[in-house]
Structure 1
Amino acid sequence: MKTAELVFIPFPEAGHIFSSVEMAKLLAGRDQRLSITVLIMHLPFETKFFKPDTSNPQRIRFVDIPLDESVMESISKERPHYIADAVDFFGLQKPQVRNAVSQLISESSEASQLAGFVIDMFTTSMMEVADEFGAPTYAFLTSGAGILGLVFHLYTLQEDFGKDLDEYKDSDTELSVPAFSKPVPAKVLPAVVFDKETGGLAMMNNFASKFKKTKGILINTFEELESHAVKSLLQDHTVPTVYPVGPIVNLDNKKSEEAIMTWLDDQPASSVVFLCFGSKSSFKEDQSKEIAYALERAGHRFLWSIRTSPAKGKSGVPGECENPKEFLPEGFLERTADIGKVIGWAPQVAVLSHPAVGGFVSHCGWNSTLESLWFGVPTATWPLYAEQQINAFLMARDFGLAVEIKLDYKQESFPGDGPPVLVTAEEIENGIRRLMEGDETVEIRERVKKMSEKSRSTLKEDGSSHAYLGQFIKAVVDNVS
């Protein structure tokens, strides 16, 4: 019996690498005919590297790819567009990846065969390396099926119909998109759609064209959540076979800080609203104060993760907030000491799994969305960048699993975004109240509870995600038989 070897090449940031490693573990744990090598790269312009758990995985090995010094010289330090730099970086790393895969093959036994590469939306340049080895390329999408359908649709509008997407910018137009059951407001389109200047739109179109050339696409979603989008993609003959195999949630990542969990232990069930905005997000002082005013007025118990922004003009991960008083109204911490706790880094999985947490004010990153559903915690949407506005639209308007604070808020993540409009304390307070109290909350909580049950059952032996994963494994193994 031959072992089929898959090479995973994830984008090395928290929102991508952790779910990619969990995907690898799920595959290797499911079928002993699979072995997996995960290539780990380090972005030269990042200040912090998110290291996945590499302890004792079954039939998985992790290979660090050395950084060629010439790569550092090839990437302009003056370019403001972080994502474009990242895409360029992976293109320049092809020789290093080629060497790593060659060594992998030379060290493998005769009973092992390279079965394919599994790429990320930002590592599409590695398809050329896969071709050199005569190996098929699969993709793993760490976002949902809806955003994949949207990207394919926008690409088709440009390529087949000559559409200039700029006409949708700052427009009240609603788009009819096959992967969505409801019209999509142009104002929730990702900012990259309108970024021609520094490569954002080109990057999105590259992602679409390259994914269409893969042999199959694994998606971190589940049919019960995105039934319309999944059906649309499966019926589209221009799209490779899609495999909705999620939710891929890192449940082992329950590292927690004792002070946070002890505080939660002292709170009543479902009484705490948790505010956390992801690994790359932070607010400036004026917006932080509006959040504080809203929390104080709403009067609900709260746990609020505050991070500090990277230096102006720098990309990277927000830092720990050593002195939150600098960002908050005078006396706020003292006045709310009995009902609230302000923290820095948040152990999100541990917090969401705690019975005291009854609501989640979220940036709507896809991993956070899946985690909140897994633990049955309803959300209030406050998207910031990337595809988060689309996720917020789906959760609040389409699925009815969240309340809105904002759907179209955008941080200055891409050229031309402009400064974000201040979200007022009144808007935030209203969102928190809708999330934590009233008839609407009861209905949403019931829907979230049912979706939580579906998110868990779909991975079991008779579940849809379990079945799709089996179909993917069969396609891979058959390819080396």
Structure 2
Amino acid sequence: MKFELIFVPYPVIGHLRSTVEMAKLLVERETRLSISVIILPLLSVDDISTSAYISALVATSNDRLHYEVISCEDQTTTELHVENHIPRVKRAVAKLVDGYSSLPDSPRLAGVVVDMFCTSVIDVANEFGVPCYLFYTSNVGVLALGLHVQMLYDKKVYNATETDFEDSEALLDVPTLQKNGHVASVILYQINK
């Protein structure tokens, strides 16, 4: 049986590149998997290399790794950019799913993988009855620090305001960060089931 994942990266070039590289790795490692990357209109397309990169992606689309570009019909604010494109994302997913039904040995939609800044797309996954996974495009150190600080807050380890440590030289031990060497990790976390 074949499976399809749909990726929705946040519409900035750094997030798009990370998502594309992850998609490439996944399809290289699993022959039964195909991936469609839905590319929202980028928030800042200020150089020719970005447009050339997207054009090159579309030109290399195939049955295992496909790029679906959503055109920009209107400019929106940064805060509402992803939300305003949800209807277009739904139409793109529906088009992909409808396209599967016409193929012999068609893949089954296995889930939607959304960028950490595209959580409003979770509703699209829910509408299609598939799991939604969160893809964290930043480095693992930033994630480790954020999770550790949240844990300290949840456990009420520190009773402090923002200004209590303003001119402090206090150290914060973050056990998940290594002193010597680098840690690399990819975290996909199912968020809607």
TM-score (normalizing by structure 2): 0.75
Which ranges of structure 1 fall in alignment gaps of 5 or more residues?
A: 76-84, 183-223, 231-243, 246-467, 473-481
Identity across matched positions, percent: 36
1:91-149 deviation digits (Å, cap 9, x = unpaired): 22211111111111111136321111112222222122212222212233332222111
Task: Tell me the equivalent position of 2:89.
Answer: 97
Offset at residue 11 of structure 1 (A): 2.3
- Would the alpha carbon gap of residues 172 and 16 (structure 1) be closer, same or farther in structure 2, given more than 3 Å must change? same
Aligned: 1:114 with 2:71: no
Q: Which residue does 2:173 correspond to in 1?
A: 176
Distance 2:160 2:6 in 1: 37
Q: Residue 140 of structure 1 aligns with which residue? A: 135
- Give, in whole Å, the separation in 2 of the partners of 1:164 and 1:88: 31
Does the 8 Å CA contact 1:115/1:135 hold for their aligned counterparts?
yes
Q: Give, as a single letter, the amino acid of the residue that structure 2 aligns with 1:24.
A: A
37-46 or 25-34, larger mean C-alpha shift: 37-46
Displacement of 1:18 in angstroms is 1.7
Change (3 A) 1:22 1:92: same
In the comparison of the two structures, how many residue pairs are matched? Answer: 177
For the residues of structure 1 that align with 2:177 and 2:36, how far apart are their CA atoms?
Answer: 35
Q: How does 1:413-452 map to 2 (within 5 A)?
A: none
Q: 1:445 — aligned with what?
A: none
Q: 1:181 to 1:129 in 2, by over 3 A?
A: same
TM-score (norm 1): 0.33
1:4·1:112 contact (CA, 8 Å) conserved in 2?
A: yes
Amino acid in the other structure paired with 1:101: V
Change (3 A) 1:137 1:168: farther
Shift of 1:160: 4.8
Q: CA deviation at 1:68?
A: 4.0
**Partner SS, residue 37 of structure 2:** strand
Distance 2:84 2:160 in 1: 32
Partners of 1:18 and 1:39 in 2: CA distance? 13
Matched, 1:22 2:21: yes
Alignment of 1:154-193 (within 5 A): 154-161=149-156, 164-181=161-178
Cα drift, residue 36 of structure 1? 0.6
Contact 1:5–1:35 (CA<8 Å) still a contact in 2?
Answer: yes
Match for residue 40 of structure 2?
41
Whether contact under 8 Å (1:12, 1:42) holds in the other structure is: yes
C-alpha spacing 1:5/1:30, structure 2 compared with 1 (3 Å): same
1:63 aligns with one of 65, 68, 71: 68
Give secondary structure in 2 for the equivalent of 1:174. coil
**C-alpha distance after superposition, 1:131-177 (max 9, x if no partner):** 22222122333322221111112233445537544544454221122
Q: Give the SS at the match of 2:174.
A: coil
Amino acid at match of 1:132: E
Counterpart contact for 1:157–1:163, Cα < 8 Å = no
Change (3 A) 1:181 1:56: closer
- Cα distance in 2, alignment partners of residues 39 and 168 from structure 1: 43
Query: 1:168/1:94 Cα in 2 relative to 1: closer, same or farther (>3 Å)?
Result: farther
CA offsets, 1:403-454, max 9 Å, x none? xxxxxxxxxxxxxxxxxxxxxxxxxxxxxxxxxxxxxxxxxxxxxxxxxxxx
Q: How far did 1:23 drift? A: 1.5
- SS across alignment from 2:120: helix
Q: Residues 134 and 225 from structure 1, CA distance in 2 versus in 1: closer, same or farther, beyond 3 angstroms?
A: same
Q: Kindly provide the CA deviation profile for residues 178-232 of structure 1, in whole angstroms up to 9, marking residues without a partner as x.
A: 32246xxxxxxxxxxxxxxxxxxxxxxxxxxxxxxxxxxxxxxxxx731xxx7xx
Task: Summarize the Cα distance change of 1:23–1:44 in structure 2 as closer, same or farther, 3 Å threshold.
Answer: closer
CA-based RMSD of the aligned residues comes to 3.0
Match of 2:191 in 1: none
- The structure whose RCO (Cα within 8 Å, separation 6+) is larger is 2
**What is the one-letter code of the residue matched to 1:34?**
L
Structure (1 or 2) with the larger CA radius of gyration: 1
Structure 1 distance, partners of 2:68, 2:161, is: 42
Instruction: Answer yes or no: is the 8 Å Cα contact 1:158–1:164 preserved in 2.
Output: no
Aligned residues of 1:120 and 1:139 also touching (Cα < 8 A): yes
